[in-house]
Amino acid sequence: MVLRVKVLRIKAAKAEQKEKLKHNLNPVQISAFDEMLHNVYATRRPKPSDYDVRKDLVRVFNEIAKQLYGNSKVPVVVEFGSFSMDIFDAKSDLDLSVNFGNGSVELPREKKIQTLRKFARKLYALQNNGHVTRVLPITTAKVPILKVVDCGTKVECDISVENFDGILKSRIINLISFIDDRFPKLSFLMKAWAKAHNINSSKEKTLNSLSIVLLVAFHMQTRNPPILPPFSALLKDGSDPESVKKLCRNFTGYGRDNKETLAELFHSLLVKLSAVQILWPKGLCASAYEGSWASKTWDSKVTCISVEDITDRSQNVSRAVGVSEVKIIYKCIQLSLRHLSAFMDGQIEVSRLMELLFGSNEEATGAGTGIPHLAGMSSRRGRKRRPTMSNFALGKRPRAVNWAGMSTESSNGAPAGAE
């Protein structure tokens, strides 16, 4: 039975207060926890080389697009997701969109699938030459994608076609991040926590990154005093990034009266989520657009966790969460709260708490920052140079091959389904 929004808000507030009483904070320990979170953030943030690698990947996929479609101005390959939101780490996937237009005309689904298959044929050829691996078209998904991993850096790329919605949301989140730096920091930390517990994958029916980021935003909107405004105030002139940017400037420092630390916010977000577990089936929905709890159904049904989309409010961005998987998510939340309580009581050391919440630093920062197989180096004098397409047309192979320049003549050996 779905409850009215007023009833849900009262129940959520009471449940959160009750849950909060179970988890007292020790002022000395919370300070140590806060220092630990800042350390995790600093050590796991991407290095300049991680930015360079991803920019290089974007560049080379644009070179591939020119090979496949001729030296025209379209399509253009652009990044979105965690990289453009700047809440990625060395191991994060790179989301790419192949754009033929500006989104004013919807490209038919079949055309999108044909585009991905065209890229797949090229990538299968490159896979045969050892430059990429794990080429996998997934054309039955709601948003068809093509997965591929660069062998040089181990960065996985998820390619979609004309994903203007993803591009727009990523840009908006990035702009909102400048209102208060606790928002991108807590988003990064919650993503790191979810990754460490293997609950950050829509493919595995757990929380996708957008769900996590919007839950963080929602939490900051519902603090007292609030740290972020309702997104409706930022989107009142539409979702055009320039309009949002102007409004965001007006809200810079909006949460200055709230003095909560990252540690307090991290802890209270887990408390909030734990408290409302039984209310999701009653229609509870986190609405960052309204900045408050809402009562919603999706096609007349409730879902395991409901997080309202900010640009298309008819969509639940956490719709992928499964019935069995939501139980796993909540086991992780409750286990982390127990670990935090043990730390507050002095039962475990801060180093042990960090490992329990985020795993080891070595595991988290061990992603490839090596030379991309797609970004070759060639020079008689030993200087770094990006090889041009003509290197390959003339049969001049640089010592480290730029895989964007490989011939597609061998692509006839693509597995079934790539055609």
For position 367, what pLDDT does the model report? 53
More confident residue, 103 or 106: 106
25, part of any domain: yes
DSSP 235: S
Q: Which domain holds residue 231?
A: 5-46+178-364
Say if 418 falls within a structural domain: no
**CB-based contacts of 357: which residues, under 8 Å, 6+ apart?**
193, 196, 336, 339
For 382-386, which contacts have Cβ atoms below 8 Å and span 24 or more sequence positions?
A: none
Answer whether residue 247 shows pLDDT above 70.
Answer: yes
341: confidence class by pLDDT, cuts 50, 70, 90: very high
* Mean pLDDT in residue range 41-64: 96
Whole-model pTM?
0.88
Is 171 contained in some domain? no
Residue 62 shares a structural domain with residue 81: yes
> Where are the strands (E) in 223-339, listed by range?
284-287, 292-295
Q: pLDDT tens-digit profile of 308-323?
A: 999 999 999 999 999 9
Q: How many domains does the chain have?
A: 2
Tell whether 334 and 404 lie within a shared domain: no
- The alpha carbon of residue 409 and the mean position of all alpha carbons in its chain are separated, in whole angstroms, by 35
Task: List residues bridging with 158 in a β-sheet.
Answer: 95, 147
Please give the single-letter amino acid code of residue 122.
K
Chain segment 5-51, per-residue pLDDT in tens: 999 999 999 999 999 999 999 999 999 999 999 999 999 999 999 99
Residues 73 and 221 grouped into a single domain: no
**How far from 199 is each of 11, 16, 302, CA to CA, in Å?**
26, 22, 21
Query: In terms of domains, do 243 and 380 share one?
Result: no
Same domain (yes/no): 348, 395: no
Same domain flag for 215 and 270: yes
Q: Give residue 394's pLDDT.
A: 30
Residue 278 or residue 418, greater confidence: 278
Asked whether residue 419 is assigned to any structural domain, the reply reads: no
Question: What token pair was written down for 99?
Answer: 């754009």
* Mean per-residue pLDDT over the chain, rounded: 89
Residue 318: how many CB atoms within 10 A of its CB? 26
Helix then strand then coil, in percent of the chain rounded to 5, is: 50, 10, 40
DSSP 277-303: GGGGGGTEEEETTTTEEEE--BTTB--
CA dist., res. 161 & res. 69, Å (int): 14
Residues with Cβ within 8 Å of residue 98, at least 6 apart in sequence: 65, 75, 76, 77, 115, 116, 119, 159, 160, 161, 162
The percent of residues in the chain predicted with pLDDT above 90, rounded, is 82
Any domain includes 246: yes
Residue 241 and residue 290 in one domain: yes
Q: What is the pLDDT of residue 8?
A: 98
CA angle 245, 247, 253 (to 5 degrees): 95
Please give the DSSP secondary-structure letter assigned to residue 413. G
